[in-house]
Amino acid sequence: MTTPNLFPQLGGPPPLTEPILPKHLPCEVPRIVSAYAIALDAELAAVEDYVRCQTQPKAVRDVAARHVVTSRVVGFLFSALLNMEHCLGITPIHRIATEVTSASNHTEIYAVGTRYIDHLICSFRTNTSATRPPSTHPSRPSMTELEDMLVDAIKTSAADHSSARTRALARDAFHCMVTNTINAHSFYKHDAIKKLQSQTGAAVRLIQTCHIFNESVLQNIEVDAEFPQEPRRQRAAGAMGILKMFGLTEVVKRLTSFASADVASASGVHDLSNILSLSTELHSAFDELKLAFEPVSGKQNTYDIIFAYPQAALGLFGLKNRITLTNFADPSKFKEPAGGLLELPLPSSELLALHAVCARVAHMSGAAQALDDLDRDLEDTQVLAKDGGSANLLHMMLSPLVSATA
């Protein structure tokens, strides 16, 4: 089995009682170095405060712990964005530096970290990966020729998850992008996929459609619509605001618009530039920021596959550490009924790079563990504790509203 690429291994959640941000940033730009030094100071102050408050009530300790994590989010954003500079450019890290140097105290640094958890990390993280319905509609006839299947797949015009899944499978040759396993629903139904499997010897597994940017953030939301203070619109506007601030205006347009004349493209968040085809196990890991695609410098549509934990890669048949994505449904062969050019875009390298940034930052800072714990607490907690012990949980539940209006 291939030894997987891994994020730095922590050996457990990062400690809250000592600073962990690297003392030096691999950058010589004075403005960025100065901003990073401020993040270091904020983490040290948060750690010292956390150590001092250990005899205080749980609600107080939780706030102090949150400050440690949010200061680390700010610090690790610098290194993660520098690592993705070849794909995202220098604008994001300069904008982070501006926010940090504009802060008047440590509390404002913690607020910056909270905003990036709420509106960036949580926009690339999905806390559940429910099994999706079959990728091919059961009423469609069995097809024996792969070309007929592709034509049938790309004719779909609805701007929803189901039609996006169908087009994505056609684009991706009915395979998982990472393991090359073939989609079970397509295999059982179509002779053409059985032929394809016999040619490649690929394993047969359930393949799911995976959104890079969390579909729930923009689902049925008009960001600039009436009632902009409505909580779901606040969350969407906060996320889109960060992407615009990072210079990703075209990505925002793609995620929030619908090209009605292009019957082969999904709308907004269901656009194929925001879609991956992954096996069930990898879908879950990707959604939880435990798997990332890091763009390789100088190689178009080529990615290193990175896991947060080696255990997540155990038993994955056909695992590859580096992949190059291609469009299996050649646009020159399959045109729209109206005669226009077919658009089945590959996943956006910018979105995948930002997802990778979020995965690294969440993993190294401890935010991933905090969000996993929050998911479990939300499942287990029916009533908030009278003694204030649920104050941190309540804050995390409301924090997208708090930071959006700050």
Reported as a single tens digit per residue, the pLDDT across 44-93 is 999 999 999 999 998 899 999 999 999 999 999 999 999 999 999 999 99
Tell me, yes or no, whether 32 and 74 share the same domain: yes
What's the pLDDT at 263? 46
* Tens digit of each residue's pLDDT (9 = 90 or more) over 152-187: 655 554 456 677 888 888 889 899 999 999 999 989
Q: Within a domain: residue 2? A: no
Tell me, yes or no, whether 165 and 38 share the same domain: no
* Tens digit of each residue's pLDDT (9 = 90 or more) over 296-319: 999 999 999 999 999 989 888 889
Beta strands in 133-281 (DSSP E): 182-183, 204-205, 207-211, 275-279
Q: How much is the average pLDDT of 262-287? A: 82
Given a cut of 60, whether residue 112 has pLDDT beyond it is yes
Q: How much is the average pLDDT of 11-29? A: 94
Tell me, yes or no, whether 184 and 56 share the same domain: no
Tell me, yes or no, whether 97 and 197 share the same domain: no
What's the pLDDT at 218? 81
- pLDDT above 70 coverage of the chain, percent: 74
pTM of the entire structure?
A: 0.86
The whole domain housing 188 covers 146-213+259-350
Q: How much is the average pLDDT of 251-264? A: 70
Task: Please tell me which of 223-232, 252-261, 328-337, 385-394 the model is most confident about, judged by mean pLDDT.
Answer: 252-261
The phi and psi torsions of 324 (rounded to 5 degrees) equal: -120, 120
Tell me, yes or no, whether 31 and 103 share the same domain: yes
How many domains, in total, are found in the chain? 2
What's the pLDDT at 151? 60
CA distances from 379 to 88, 127, 281, 370, 396 (A): 36, 11, 22, 14, 14
Q: Which of 131, 28, 112 is nearest to 72 (CA)?
A: 112
Q: Within a domain: residue 242? A: no
Distance, in Å, from the CA atom of 100 to the CA atom of 94, rounded to the nearest integer, reads 10
Distance, in Å, from the CA atom of 219 to the CA atom of 225, rounded to the nearest integer, reads 14
Distance, in Å, from the CA atom of 158 to the CA atom of 161, rounded to the nearest integer, reads 9
Q: Tell me what the pLDDT averaged over the chain comes to.
A: 82
Tell me, yes or no, whether 25 and 109 share the same domain: yes
Nearest-10 crossing angle of helices 30-52, 58-83: 160
